[in-house]
Each structure stands twice: as structure tokens, then as C-alpha cells.
Amino acid sequence: MVVDSDTSNFKDLVDEIVDKYPPRYKELVTVVYFDETSENYLEVKSDQDLFAMFEKHVDSKEVVMYIAYTFANEMPEWPIVPKKLVKTLST
């Protein structure tokens, strides 16, 4: 999926995801990306978070995002990124 950082906002991004990958009844969508600096998954919950994500990847022009559908009482699980790969991503 291609997201244009100049024209995208958080609501449009989530709407596009939900249109392409519809959730089941009462599922919530969670959008995160892997931040190489903190070595954590950072949740994108607003236009400000989306802008910060784009700012961190302005040089590479690529962001690996993860999307999870969960029920309100569930926590999404994200893949484990090996430290060796983190070093490769940040160079």
C-alpha cells in the first residue's frame, strides 16, 4: 500500500485500510510502525503521530507499518525484530 505523506491524514489512512481489509464485527484497528531508534513499535493514533512517522523516514521514503484487528479486551501482538536486523535497518 502506498501512502503519500503530503496528502494523507490519519483518518484517511485508517479509512483506506478498513476499506481494503474490512474488520469483523466489533474489531478495532491498530496501526503501528517499527522505530529503529527506540527499537519499539510506535502506535499511530493521530495526524501528529503520522507526521512524526513520516519525518523519521524522510530519507528512506519507506515505512514498514503493521496493522492489527483486535477486540477491545485484546492486546495486539507484533513480530519480534532481531537486533541484527535493527542495525541493518538503521544504516
The per-residue DSSP string of 71-83 comes to: -TT-----PPPPH
Q: What is the pLDDT of residue 91?
A: 54
Cα four-point dihedral sign 20, 21, 27, 30: negative
pLDDT value, residue 62: 82
How many Cβ atoms sit within 10 Å of the Cβ of residue 54? 17
Handedness of CA 10, 13, 19, 20 (dihedral sign): negative
Give the residue-averaged pLDDT of 26-52: 92
pLDDT digit string, tens, across residues 31-43: 999 888 888 899 9
Residue 78's closest CA among 88, 90, 64? 64
Residue 46 confidence (pLDDT): 95
pLDDT the model gives residue 73? 94
Which domains are seen in the chain, by residue range?
10-89 (3.10.20)
Q: pLDDT value at position 63?
A: 84
Among residues of the chain, what percentage have pLDDT more than 70?
82
Average pLDDT, the chain: 85
Whether 86 shows a pLDDT value over 60: the answer reads no
